[in-house]
Structure 1
Amino acid sequence: MASDRDELAQRLLDAQVEFTLGQLTDEDEFRTVAEQEIDSFLTDSGTIPLESVMPRQLIKDVVYKYAVQFPVEGAIPELVGEVAARLYNHDVNSQTSLHDVVDDRQFDELATSIAEMPAAQRALEQVLESPSTVDTVVDLVQRSVANNFGSKAARRLARPIEKVTRYGAGFVLDSAREDPEVMLLDTLRDFWRGNADRDLSGFKGTITDDDIEDFVVIGFEFFRTFRNTPYFRTLLDEGVDEVFDTYGATPIADVLEDLGIERADLMEEAMRFGPPVLAHSERARLPRDHHAPPPRTVLRLTGVCGGRRRLREEVVCTLPAP
C-alpha cells in the first residue's frame, strides 16, 4: 500500500513538474503566468509599506558592502578602461559631428540654462573677483615674454609688464563683472559656432587614449581612498535615510508609480528576459512525451492523518503513464 502511494506521489510530482514547465516554456502560457504574478504583486504591494519589507539598516548594509567594502581591484578598473578605450576609438566618432548629437536649438537652450544658473553665475563671479585670477594672468604674460625674448629681457621688464598686465586684466575683469551671464553665454555660443561641424574624433588632439586611461586610473585610485572616509559614509547614510524618510511608509506599489515604473514595464521586462532564459535551462530542455494537465487541475496533497502527510483519495489529475 505504501509503495502504491509513493508511486502515485511520484507520478503526481512528475505531472506537476511537467505542467509547470509547460507554463514556463510556452510563451503564451508564460505571459498568462507573468500577468497573474505581476497583478498579484501590485495588488498585495499596494498595502505594504516599503520599510516593512526592506528595513532601513538592511539597505544600508547592502550599500556599504558594494560602495565601501567591495574590492575595486583587478578586472573592474581594467574592464572600465577597455570599454572607455573602445568607445574612444570607435569609427562612429569620425562619422559624427557635434551638430549630429545636439542641434542649434538644443544647444542654445542648454547654454542659456547653464548661463542662468545661480551656481554658474556665483562661480564666475568668484573667478572674476579673485585676486588670484589677476596673478595668474600676470604669471602667464611674464612666462610668455621669457619664452619669446629670453629670461634676461623678462627679468628687466618684469615690473613694467606686471604693472601693465594688472591694469589691463583689472579693466577686462571689471567689464566682465558688469554682466557675467552675457559673457558666459557668448563664450559658449562662440565655442559652438567654432566646433559644431567638427567630427568628434577631431577632439582627440585635446584628449588622447592615454588620457582616457589616466582618467580611469586616477578615478579609481581616488575612489579607493575616498570611500573609506567618514565623510563618504556619512553621505551614504544620509542618502539612504532620505529615501526611507520619503518613501519608508509608502506602499511599494506607490513607490514604483512615483518612479515611473508601471505594470506594462514589468510585463515588458518579464517577456524580454523570461522566455529566452527559461528556454536555455536544463529543465526546459527535458523531453516531454505527453501534454501537461490543464490549468484548472487541482493537486490535493494537503491531507494529514496521524501526523503524517498523505494523499487524499479524491486526487484529481491527469497522470503520465507509469
Structure 2
Amino acid sequence: MNGTPLSPRAEALLNAQIAYMIRRLTGDEYEAWVRAELEADLQNARLLTLNQAMEPRLIKEVVHQFALELDLSGGVLELVAAVARALHAHPVHANTTLGDILSDNSFEEMLDKVLELRDVRERLVHEVVSNPLYAELATSLLTEGVRGYLDHAVATSRLPGARSLARFGREALQALPGGLEEALESRLHDYLRRALQGLLVSSGETLLELADTRLRDSILDIWDALKTRPLADGLHQLTALDLEEFFVLGYEYWREVRQTDFVRSIIDSGIDTFFELYGDTSLYDLLGEVGIDHEIMVQQAMRFGPPVIAVLHERGMLEALFRRQLEGFFASPEVAAILAAEFTAPAMPAAQ
C-alpha cells in the first residue's frame, strides 16, 4: 500500500468487495465456487504441456537446495527422536505379526523374484566362500570349538585320572619354552584353514546346485515359523535410543554422500528422464497419470478449506488479507479518475 488515503466512494467499494469475497468463502456458495474454479483451472491445464509450464533446470535447483544443501534444524531432529520413542512404545506392536503386514502371497511373489536372479545368487555365493576373511572366521570358530571340546571331554571323562591328566596337560603346556604353546595352536589353526578352503568351495557349489524348489520350500518353512510372531519380539531387541541413533547415523551418512558427484548425477538424470517422458504431456493428463482428478481436488478443498477459512475469519485475518491485496488498487490514481468521471447513461433508441 502506498499510504494514499481512500476517498469515501473508494472506501465503500473496497468494503463491499471484501464483504462479497468473505461471503463467497464462508457461505453456502463455497463448494459451487470451488468446483467452478477447479474446472476452469483443469480446462486451462489441458492447454499447457509440462515443458511449457516448467523447465528442468528450475526443478533441479529446488531439489539441489532442499535435498543436497539444506540441513535439518535441531527442532526437526528432536521431533524425529520423539516420534521414534512414541513408535517404539506403541502397543500395536504386541498385537501385530509379520503375517499381518506381509501376506503369504506377497512374500511368495518376492521370493520367486529373488530366486529368478540365479546369476546374482551365484555371484554372491562365490564372493562369500572365496573371501579369505570368511575362511579365517570359520577357522577361528572351529579352532575355539576344538579346544573347548577337548577341554570338556577330558574334564568330564569318567576314565580314572582324566582330570589329573588334563591338569597335568595344562601345566605341561605352561612349562613349555616360551611361544611353543602358541606355535601348537597356530599349527592347528593353519591345518584347519587349509582343510576348510576346499570344504568351503565345495559347500558353495553344493548350495548353488541345490534345486530352487528345495530352496524355496526351505525359505517358506522359515517364513511359516516367523510370520506368526508379533513385531514386539523383534523391537524388544532395540531400544528407542537405538532407533534415534540409527536415524542420526543415517542422516550423517546422507549429509556426507549427498555431496558426491554420484548422487547429484543420479538426481539430475532422474529429473531429465521425467521430462523426456512427460515433457510434451498436458498438465491435465499428467495429473491423471498420478490418479488426481477434479473430484479428488474438490474433496480436499472441502476437507481443509472451510475449517482454515473459518479460523482466519473469526480472528479477522481473512479481512486483513483481502484488504492488504486490494487497498492499494482502490487508492490508485486510476481508480480515483474513474470514480471522479461523470458517466452519461446511453440514450434510449428512438421509437419507430
| TM-score class normalised by the smaller sequence | 0.7 to 0.9
Distance 1:218 1:138 in 2: 30
Q: After superposition, what is the alpha-carbon deviation per residue over 1:236-291, rounded to whole angstroms, capped at 9, x for unaligned?
A: 2212211212222221111111121111111111111111111110x3555xxxxx
Please name the residue that 2:230 is paired with: 199
Please name the residue that 1:138 is paired with: 135
Pick aligned residue for 1:216 from 235, 247, 250: 247
Q: How many residues align?
A: 290
Please name the residue that 1:6 is paired with: 7
CA contact (8 A) 2:26 2:309 kept: yes
Q: Does 1:122 align with 2:153?
A: no
Describe how 1:292-311 pairs up with structure 2 within 5 A. 308-310=337-339
Q: Which has the higher helix share?
A: 2
Q: After superposition, what is the alpha-carbon deviation per residue over 1:79-104, rounded to whole angstroms, capped at 9, x for unaligned?
A: 22332332122111111111222233
CA contact (8 A) 1:49 1:249 kept: yes
With a CA cutoff of 8 Å and minimum separation of 6, indicate the structure with the bigger relative contact order: 2
Distance 1:81 1:194, change over 3 A: same
RMSD: 3.0
Give unmatched runs, 5+ long, in structure 2: 1-5, 149-180, 317-329, 346-352
CA contact (8 A) 1:46 1:252 kept: yes
Describe how 1:256-295 pairs up with structure 2 within 5 A. 256-281=287-312, 283-285=313-315
Q: After superposition, what is the alpha-carbon deviation per residue over 1:134-171, rounded to whole angstroms, capped at 9, x for unaligned?
A: 63443233222344426957534223322432333222
Please name the residue that 1:236 is paired with: 267
Please name the residue that 2:158 is paired with: none
Distance 2:239 2:314 in 1: 49
What secondary structure, in the 3-state scheme, does the structure 2 residue paired with 1:250 have? coil
Please name the residue that 1:20 is paired with: 21
The letter of the residue matching 2:22 is: L
Displacement after TM superposition at 1:51 (Å) = 2.4
Distance 1:36 1:306 in 2: 29
Displacement after TM superposition at 1:54 (Å) = 1.9
Distance 1:22 1:307 in 2: 26
The letter of the residue matching 2:36 is: Q
TM-score, structure 2 length as denominator? 0.72
Greater Cα offset, 221-230 or 81-90: 81-90
Distance 2:344 2:208 in 1: 90
The letter of the residue matching 2:141 is: S
Distance 2:19 2:214 in 1: 72
Distance 1:75 1:35, change over 3 A: same
Describe how 1:54-203 pairs up with structure 2 within 5 A. 54-116=54-116, 118=117, 121-130=118-127, 132-133=129-130, 135-148=132-145, 149=147, 154-179=185-210, 181-182=212-213, 185-186=216-217, 188-203=219-234
